[in-house]
């Protein structure tokens, strides 16, 4: 057995109620590590042969909650949620911060595999080896704050009743869905701690389709044994010391981007990306700090950065709204992208989005899209059930968010996410509305534009990513670049927060991996073999797609049309992305990762990686 792993997985079939243990060979764990990599492997092995027919929101989809060997050891605990994505119809490794992964490993499991679907709402309660599928009808329909409060109280009471001399029980760690997930909204998240979310992929909808409201875990054991604890301690210290030395995210959170990315790099979505520049100093970090912060540092297991800051609106119309201070992405997507420029309105919307169990990025993307259609007269007040979606009207956007979460009226259509909604509106209105959809392969693009050329993504980063518009998994060359999709796959497979790696030497994460597992892993082996193998699996399933949509690389390995319009304002006014140039870059990327000129992984590239079975299945696409 490889060190650093608990050594077994929990498998729960919600259709039959059967609970059993599952395991993977050392070879599989060595190759796919955990988290995102292992998710791709499990999904391919179990569903690859019939991928196109598997409905992501049907009982045959498999929902995964996976840790990795570094979870709990590398500062910044996370857990990876995956399955067939109802957004891309491929596989997204979607991670969420918190103690869930640590609790799970302490309970003796490296992950949970959920299959089937329950007849009635249930939640899973795991206390070490005791696993129960419990009735969740009393929390079905409840928002995030109600769900967390009710289940925290209920599970602690259960533990106290069962272990009478233990003393006070700490709360179990809980992952849950809100009303949006229950209604299979494709922009719904799997959430933790009110404000934390596995957003990309839309796995809240998958959880809802299985009628699984929550999973609560309490593990009473230690984290697994490691190869060299002294080395682990030394590396933990090295990561922390590096972070303690840096000011930006620790002091201000990623919200520091709210002004920086808007005003300086000019790559922040403004009014559905019609602009990417603003000079609103009212949206600077210091304005958030003075107006809404009530706690300057909030973090998760072992984290030195604690980029979260707790925010509350203390007076005015939105008094009582509470959430973590919107990070950069939510400042953009529930702020500037909707024409909103005050911290109070931004916090109000972020708090509501938490409560509903929606993804702030994806929902902000689809709401911005709808507002632009209203601006252009394509969607009318009548179409919007009486709503006037004027830029900057936080209350109108709040009403729309509720409609989306409850699939009410126009919300039912927008609950399908930007791309699917665009296809339907296109049909309804006989107008080309796809040109206003800022997404890639069903996934709204993260709040980092490419037109100014000053932000980190490359021109082809979203177009070539196996996770579409996901800004945390962007394709780039050279493949061993520290921000390439292949490099990021390690963080999501060993499962820890990559926000703690920016200042440390590049090979430290592999040293960490060795100190925990005892296994050597080189950068070269990771990039050229192991990560590449995971990438090919993800690419294969993304291209197989279905059942409702399929991606054709020639058409869909592309930027949203908006990115080919010139920037209308700001320091980079007039700049745009040249189509021919991107096509040449995409071609170079295809060559580097072993895809043919049509974007399909080549036979020899797959066979070299031992993916002969993938090669066989992909034959039909060639």
Partner 1 sequence: MSTEKEQIWIARDLAKCSGCRKCEIACSLFHEKRIWPEASRIRVFMLVPGTDFPHFCAQCEDYPCVQACPVKALSVSERTGAVLVDRETCIACGQCIEACPGRIPHMHPKEDYILICDLCGGDPQCVKVCQEGSWNVLRVVSKGNYAHRLYARKPEEIARSLAIKIYGEEGERLL
237-266 binders of partner 1 (CB under 8 A): 240, 244
Give the SS3 label for residue 323: strand
* Identity of the residue, 240 or 519, whose beta carbon is nearer to partner 1 in the bound complex: 240
Contact status: 301 vs partner 1 (CB under 8 A): yes
The number of residues making up the chain comes to: 622
Rule CB under 8 A: choose which of 46, 145, 231, 483 binds partner 1. Answer: 145
Integer Cα distance of 382 and 10 in angstroms:
49
Contact status: 227 vs partner 1 (CB under 8 A): no
Neighbours of 300 (CB within 10 A): 24
* Identity of the residue, 50 or 153, whose beta carbon is nearer to partner 1 in the bound complex: 153
Contact status: 310 vs partner 1 (CB under 8 A): yes
Name the one residue in this structure whose structure tokens are 């050279």. Answer: 478
Of the candidates 297, 274, 302, the residue with the CA atom closest to the CA atom of residue 105: 302
Rule CB under 8 A: choose which of 133, 312, 519, 605 binds partner 1. Answer: 312
Question: Contact region for partner 1 (CB under 8 A) — 28-36, 88-96, 232-240, 591-599?
Answer: 232-240
Rule CB under 8 A: choose which of 58, 228, 231, 306 binds partner 1. Answer: 306
Integer Cα distance of 89 and 549 in angstroms:
7
Contact status: 150 vs partner 1 (CB under 8 A): no
Contact status: 220 vs partner 1 (CB under 8 A): yes
Rule CB under 8 A: choose which of 1, 149, 157, 428 binds partner 1. Answer: 149
Binding track, positions 78-107, relative to partner 1; x by CB under 8 A: ---------------------x--x---x-
Report how many residues bind partner 1 under the rule CB under 8 A. Answer: 49
Contact status: 29 vs partner 1 (CB under 8 A): no
Contact status: 1 vs partner 1 (CB under 8 A): no
We find the least distance from the C-beta atom of residue 516 to partner 1, in angstroms, to be 11
Integer Cα distance of 351 and 344 in angstroms:
10
We find the least distance from the C-beta atom of residue 208 to partner 1, in angstroms, to be 21
We find the least distance from the C-beta atom of residue 409 to partner 1, in angstroms, to be 30
We find the least distance from the C-beta atom of residue 171 to partner 1, in angstroms, to be 6
Query: How does DSSP classify residue 264?
Result: I
We find the least distance from the C-beta atom of residue 300 to partner 1, in angstroms, to be 7
Binding track, positions 64-83, relative to partner 1; x by CB under 8 A: --------xx----------
We find the least distance from the C-beta atom of residue 140 to partner 1, in angstroms, to be 20
DSSP string, 429-478: HTS--GGG--EETTEEPPS--SSSS-SSS-TTHHHH-TTTT-TTS---SS
322-324: strand order across its sheet: 293-298, 308-312, 322-324
Integer Cα distance of 593 and 607 in angstroms:
13
Integer Cα distance of 149 and 368 in angstroms:
32
Q: How far, in Å, are 233, 249, 512 from residue 238 at the CA level?
A: 9, 18, 11
We find the least distance from the C-beta atom of residue 138 to partner 1, in angstroms, to be 17
Kind of pairing between the strands at 94-97 and 111-115: unpaired
Q: How far, in Å, are 232, 417, 581, 614 from residue 563 at the CA level?
A: 44, 19, 13, 33
DSSP string, 568-604: -SSTTTT----HHHHHHHHHHHHHHHTB-TTSPBPHH
317-346 binders of partner 1 (CB under 8 A): 320, 322, 324
* Identity of the residue, 229 or 584, whose beta carbon is nearer to partner 1 in the bound complex: 229
Rule CB under 8 A: choose which of 50, 138, 162, 166 binds partner 1. Answer: 166
Residues that bind partner 1 (CB under 8 A): 72-73, 99, 102, 106, 145, 148-149, 152-153, 163-168, 170-171, 193-195, 219-223, 225, 229, 233, 236, 240, 244, 294-295, 297-304, 306, 310, 312, 314, 320, 322, 324
């Amino acid at each position: 057995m490889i060190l650093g792993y608990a050594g077994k997985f929990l498998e729960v079939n919600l259709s039959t109620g059967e609970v059993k243990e599952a395991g993977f060979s050392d070879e599989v764990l060595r190759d796919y590590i955990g988290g995102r990599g292992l998710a791709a492997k499990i999904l391919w092995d179990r569903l690859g042969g019939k991928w196109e027919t598997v409905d992501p929101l049907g009982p045959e989809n498999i929902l995964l909650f996976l840790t990795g060997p570094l979870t709990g050891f590398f500062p910044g605990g996370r857990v990876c949620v995956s399955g067939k994505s109802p957004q891309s119809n491929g596989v997204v490794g979607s991670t969420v911060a918190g103690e869930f992964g640590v609790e799970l490993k302490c309970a003796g499991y490296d992950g949970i595999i959920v299959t089937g679907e329950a007849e009635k709402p249930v939640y899973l309660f795991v206390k070490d080896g005791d696993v129960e599928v419990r009735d969740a009808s009393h929390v079905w329909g409840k928002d995030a704050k109600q769900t967390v409060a009710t289940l925290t109280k209920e599970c602690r009471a259960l533990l106290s009743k069962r272990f009478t001399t233990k003393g006070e029980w700490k709360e179990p760690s809980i992952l849950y869905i809100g009303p949006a997930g229950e209604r299979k909204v494709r922009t719904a998240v799997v959430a933790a701690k009110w404000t934390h979310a596995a957003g990309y992929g839309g796995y809240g909808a998958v959880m809802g389709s299985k009628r699984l409201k929550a999973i609560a875990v309490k593990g009473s054991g230690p984290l697994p044994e490691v190869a060299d604890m002294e080395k682990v301690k030394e590396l933990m210290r090295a990561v922390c010391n590096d972070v303690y030395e840096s000011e930006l995210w620790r002091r201000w959170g990623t919200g520091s981007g709210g002004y920086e990315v808007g005003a300086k790099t000019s790559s922040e979505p403004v009014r559905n990306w019609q602009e990417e520049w603003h000079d609103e100093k009212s949206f600077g970090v210091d304005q958030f700090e003075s107006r809404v912060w009530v706690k300057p540092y909030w973090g998760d297991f072992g984290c030195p950065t604690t980029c979260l800051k707790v925010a509350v609106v203390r007076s005015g119309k939105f008094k009582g709204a509470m959430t973590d201070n919107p990070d950069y992405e939510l400042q953009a997507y529930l702020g500037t992208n909707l024409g909103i420029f005050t911290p109070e309105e931004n916090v109000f919307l972020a708090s509501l989005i938490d409560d509903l169990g929606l993804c702030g990025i994806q929902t902000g993307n689809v709401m911005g899209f709808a507002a632009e259609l209203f601006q252009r007269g394509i969607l009318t007040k009548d179409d919007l059930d009486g709503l006037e979606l004027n830029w900057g009207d936080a209350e109108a956007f709040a009403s729309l968010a509720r409609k989306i979460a409850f699939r009410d009226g126009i919300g039912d259509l927008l609950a399908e996410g930007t791309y699917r909604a665009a296809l339907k509106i296109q049909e309804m209105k006989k107008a080309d509305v796809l040109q206003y959809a800022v997404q890639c392969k069903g996934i709204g693009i993260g709040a980092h534009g490419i037109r100014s050329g000053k932000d980190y993504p490359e021109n082809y980063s979203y177009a070539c990513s196996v996770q579409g518009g996901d800004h945390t998994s962007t394709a780039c060359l050279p493949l061993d670049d520290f921000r390439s999709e292949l490099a990021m796959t390690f963080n999501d497979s060993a499962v820890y927060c990559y926000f703690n790696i920016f200042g440390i030497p590049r090979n430290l994460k592999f040293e960490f991996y060795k100190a925990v597992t005892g296994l050597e892993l080189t950068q070269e082996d990771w990039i050229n073999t192991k990560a590449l193998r995971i990438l090919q699996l993800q690419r294969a399933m993304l291209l197989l797609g279905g059942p409702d949509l399929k991606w054709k690389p020639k058409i869909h390995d592309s930027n949203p049309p908006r990115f080919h319009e010139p920037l209308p304002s700001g320091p980079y006014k007039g700049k745009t992305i040249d189509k021919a140039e991107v096509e040449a870059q995409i071609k170079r990327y295809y060559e580097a990762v072993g895809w043919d000129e049509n974007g399909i992984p080549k036979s020899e590239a797959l066979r070299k990686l031992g993916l002969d079975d993938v090669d066989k299945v992909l034959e039909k696409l060639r």
